[in-house]
């Protein structure tokens, strides 16, 4: 969030003075046909009004009326590990930042790096998601929209978020297990198949497909850039006024 | 966060027009001594400039220059259970909200109500505090200041927060164990003494007194209202420009 500096208010006063005094001088000249008097009026007006304009700006900065609270949304990316959630979410974030709306990117990886011992059991995942929902909620109270990418494997976890936050938009990033395995440069699927990783979604833990996703992205058919474009257009149409 | 509505921009245009046209008409009248022509100039000016002013406002809304990022702070209330953290923090929050700065109140109780199974062991507390620090950090990235009241019993937990957030102000809410027991209308100290509550700070778990608190409130000597006033003045002096 920003606040107006004095220098900005003064600069605004000066640019307006150029526009306004030009107009006044033209009017006086048309009426009286006297160029000297038109210029004199312009000078006098400038002296009187730069200060008045500045004072007018300052008074309005104290008035809250006519300021609309920005309506925040949450883009919730869900899908199997390696389906492409983070890639697409990052692209969408870059695009939305350009719209100058307050927005925050929350990725599973960043939080698990910060707090390594969160755990992957169903109980731990649900507790984790509840805290994420609380984070989104707190940001939304302050008009900040969010782009969240987590596996969100359970219907129950997605429901927790949907009930706690406003304007929740589920983006189901779809890819078959076979496709995810192909993209598996880190070898996590392989490890999970060998039984080295417990509760690995898609292998040793369930992924419950979302039934009511607002947006479905089939990553086997479209590229990340195209996907980002679809999501960006959806947000622009429904949430940016 | 708010955005300017069109109606606000128009209203600003109108109030300015009243001030500005009044000035112009006075100038023209002084120069030419002709009241009809002064009025005619005023009318023409009004017609020309209401639209121009509105356009000028809209152009400036797109310009980012001269807007200063608000510098957020975190008020970290620490102290024994029942020392009076929440009471004082709530009073400070009420006072600071009137300053029209973006601020969020985060209380231990609210989060533990939402996620009941956080736990009270040292390991669980530290994990919990790390998430709180991440929440504060995310809010600060969006210029939102915070008022947090948790027991924060360990030097280590307070250090985690201090390292992760900006402008951290430790408020040590001081009360002796004897005093806290007297205030214990819920009977939690009694239960802890009987061994019914594990890891109860002050009884069955340690409270490491802060050595570098920015503000110390001795609740056995001053009232919550006075304490809130001291903290409010500290913030106003150091963080509100």
Q: Is A180 exposed, middle or buried (0-12, 13-18, 19+ CB in 10 A)?
A: buried
Spans of all domains in chain A: 6-62, 74-239
At B167 the pLDDT is 96
Q: What is the pLDDT along chain A (241 residues), one digit of tens a residue?
A: 677 777 887 888 888 888 888 888 888 888 888 888 888 888 888 888 878 888 888 888 888 888 777 789 999 999 999 999 999 999 999 999 988 789 999 999 889 888 888 888 888 888 999 999 999 999 999 999 999 999 999 999 999 999 999 999 999 999 998 888 888 888 888 888 888 888 888 887 889 999 999 999 999 999 999 999 999 999 999 988 7
CA distances to A60, B48, B89, B124 from B170, in Å: 36, 56, 12, 22
CA B14, B17, B22 angle in degrees (round to 5)?
140
3-state secondary structure of A154: coil
Strands A2-4 and B67-69: antiparallel
Beta bridge partners of A3: B68
Residues of chain B under the 70 pLDDT cut: 1
Beta strands in chain A (DSSP E): 2-4, 67-69, 74-78, 103-107, 145-149, 168-174, 215-218
pLDDT of residue B24: 84
A40 contacts in chain B (CB < 8 Å): 31
CB contact under 8 Å between B127 and A141, yes or no, is: no
Amino acid B51: pLDDT: 83
Contact (CB<8Å) B60/A12: yes
Q: Write phi, then psi, for B177 (nearest 5 degrees).
A: -55, -40
Residue A1: its pLDDT value, please?
65
Question: Do β-strands B145-149 and B103-107 pair in parallel, antiparallel, or remain unpaired?
Answer: parallel
Place of tokens 């998430």: B131
pLDDT of residue A4: 73
Residues on chain B touching A143 (C-beta within 8 angstroms): 1-2
**Apex CA A84: angle with CA A185 and CA A187, to 5°?**
20
The tokens for B176 are 């002796």
Residue B31 has a pLDDT of: 80
What is the C-alpha to C-alpha distance for residues B82 and B176, in angstroms, rounded to an integer? 10
| Chain-chain contact of B144 with A1 (C-beta, under 8 angstroms) | yes
Per-residue CA distances from B104 to A139, B42, B157 (Å)? 9, 48, 21
Residues in chain A with CB shorter than 8 Å from the CB of B116 are none
Work out the number of other CB atoms within 10 angstroms of the CB of residue B15: 13
CA A45, A48, A53, A54 torsion-angle sign: positive
Within 13 A of B109's CA, how many CA atoms are on the CB side? 8
Mutation target among A66, A103, A112 for the B interface, most CBs of B within 10 A: A66
What would the CATH number be for the domain defined by A74-239? 3.40.50.300
Using the beta-carbon criterion (under 8 Å), do B142 and A139 form an inter-chain contact?
Answer: yes
Decide if A52 and B19 are in contact by the 8 Å CB cutoff.
yes
Q: How many helices (H) and strands (E) would you count in chain B?
A: 9, 7
**CA distance to partner chain A, nearest, from residue B208 (Å):** 23
Of B5, B31, B143, the CB nearest to A40: B31
Q: How far is B46 from chain A (nearest CA, A)?
A: 10
How close A49 comes to chain B (CA, Å)? 7
Cβ–Cβ contacts within 10 Å for residue B63, how many?
Answer: 12
Mutate to test the interface with A, among B138, B148, B165 (most CBs of A within 10 A): B138
CB contact under 8 A, A135 and B138: yes
d(CA A61, CA A59): 5
């Amino acid at each position: 969030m920003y606040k107006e500096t004095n220098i900005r208010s003064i600069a605004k006063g000066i640019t307006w003075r150029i526009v306004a005094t030009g107009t006044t001088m033209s009017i006086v000249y048309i009426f009286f046909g006297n160029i000297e008097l038109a210029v004199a009026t312009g000078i006098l007006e400038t002296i009187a009004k730069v200060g008045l304009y500045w004072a007018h700006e300052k008074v309005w900065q104290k008035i809250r009326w006519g300021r609309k609270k920005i309506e925040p949304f949450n883009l919730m990316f869900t899908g199997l590990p390696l389906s492409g959630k983070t890639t697409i979410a990052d692209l969408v974030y870059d695009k939305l930042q350009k719209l100058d709306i307050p927005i925050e990117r929350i990725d599973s990886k960043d939080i698990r790096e910060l707090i390594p011992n969160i755990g992957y059991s169903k109980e731990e995942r649900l507790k984790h998601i509840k805290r994420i929902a609380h984070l989104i909620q707190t940001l939304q109270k302050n008009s900040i929209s969010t782009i969240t990418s987590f596996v969100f494997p359970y219907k129950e976890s997605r429901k927790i978020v949907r009930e706690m936050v406003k304007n929740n938009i589920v983006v189901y990033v779809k890819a078959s297990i076979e496709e995810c395995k192909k993209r598996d440069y880190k070898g996590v699927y392989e490890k999970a198949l060998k039984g080295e990783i417990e509760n690995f979604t898609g292998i040793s833990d369930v992924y419950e497909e979302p039934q009511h996703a607002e947006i479905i992205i089939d990553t086997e058919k479209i590229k990340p850039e195209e996907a980002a474009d679809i999501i960006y257009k959806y947000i622009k149409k429904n949430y940016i006024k």
